[in-house]
């Protein structure tokens, strides 16, 4: 399996006793709850599960990487042909307020959609409006979820090993 020892040396502290004290909640089709100082596995799909060509996946990954250390600390991300997985911990702004996942995802999805449409000379939705987010509850859960994300291209037959997949990113 893919070695994660280097990945977990620099992870921010996850977990907090302040459940919902100043968290965020919103609902679209799925309920979304966000607590401060928590790590999340987020998945969003392409519109109508459209297959993104490789050049579009390059752009999407660059937009994900752009958010690292700006509004979210990203542990691992993968851009699959028709969806994206990100494991990350939302950061705080200058006033100490945690960036809402909805704002972070709107930034990633909106900017990447504009870039992909421009690249491919097309119009219309690139991403489904709804995203799935799951709060990781334990450090060992982070290891398990990171392994799931990294092995996704292998399970789908897109690479023999995670490190062979060009759209898998683990910050150094």
- The angle at the Cα of 59, spanning 58 to 62, to the nearest 5 degrees, equals 90
Q: DSSP letter at 132?
A: E
Q: What is the pLDDT of residue 172?
A: 86
Least confident piece of the model among 118-127, 136-145, 160-169: 136-145
**Residue 45 binned pLDDT confidence (cut-offs 50, 70, 90):** very high
Q: Which residues of 25-50 are buried (b: 16+ CB within 10 A; e: fewer)?
A: eeeeeeebebbbbbbbbbbbbbeeeb
Mean pLDDT over 60-66 rounds to: 98
**Residue 153 binned pLDDT confidence (cut-offs 50, 70, 90):** very high
- Asked if residues 162 and 155 have their Cβ atoms less than 8 Å apart, the reply is no
**Residue 78 binned pLDDT confidence (cut-offs 50, 70, 90):** very high
The fraction of the chain above a pLDDT of 90, given in percent, is 73
Q: Would you say residue 10 has pLDDT above 70? A: no
Q: Would you say residue 148 has pLDDT above 60? A: yes
In a 10 Å sphere around its CB, with 0-12 CB exposed, 13-18 middle and 19+ buried, how is residue 144 labelled? exposed
Among 109, 90, 92, 91, which residue's Cα sits nearest to residue 43?
109
**Residue 32 binned pLDDT confidence (cut-offs 50, 70, 90):** low
* Parallel/antiparallel/unpaired status of strands 83-90 and 168-169: unpaired
How far, rounded to the nearest angstrom, does the alpha carbon of residue 31 sit from its chain's CA centroid?
A: 18
pLDDT tens sequence across 83-122: 999 999 999 999 999 999 999 999 999 999 999 999 999 9
Rounded to whole angstroms, how far apart are CA atoms 63 and 149?
A: 18
pTM of the full structure: 0.82
- Asked if residues 107 and 71 have their Cβ atoms less than 8 Å apart, the reply is yes
Contacts of 133 (CB under 8 A, 6+ apart): 32, 34, 40, 41, 42, 43, 101
Q: Which two tokens stand for residue 155?
A: 């399970």
């Amino acid at each position: 399996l893919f070695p994660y020892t280097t990945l977990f040396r620099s992870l921010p502290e996850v977990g907090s006793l302040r459940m919902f004290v100043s968290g965020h909640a919103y609902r679209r089709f799925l309920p979304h709850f966000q607590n401060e100082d928590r790590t999340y596995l987020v998945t969003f799909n392409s519109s109508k599960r459209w297959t993104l060509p490789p050049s579009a996946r390059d752009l999407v990954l660059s937009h994900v990487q752009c958010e690292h250390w700006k509004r979210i600390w990203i542990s691992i991300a993968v851009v699959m042909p028709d969806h994206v997985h990100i494991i990350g911990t939302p950061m705080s702004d200058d006033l100490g307020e945690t960036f809402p996942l909805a704002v972070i995802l709107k930034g990633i999805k909106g900017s990447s959609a504009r870039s992909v449409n421009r690249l491919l000379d097309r119009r219309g939705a690139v991403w489904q409006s709804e995203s799935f987010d799951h709060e990781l509850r334990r450090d060992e859960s982070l290891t398990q979820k990171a392994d799931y994300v990294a092995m996704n291209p292998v399970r789908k037959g897109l690479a023999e090993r995670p490190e062979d997949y060009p759209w898998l990113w683990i910050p150094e």
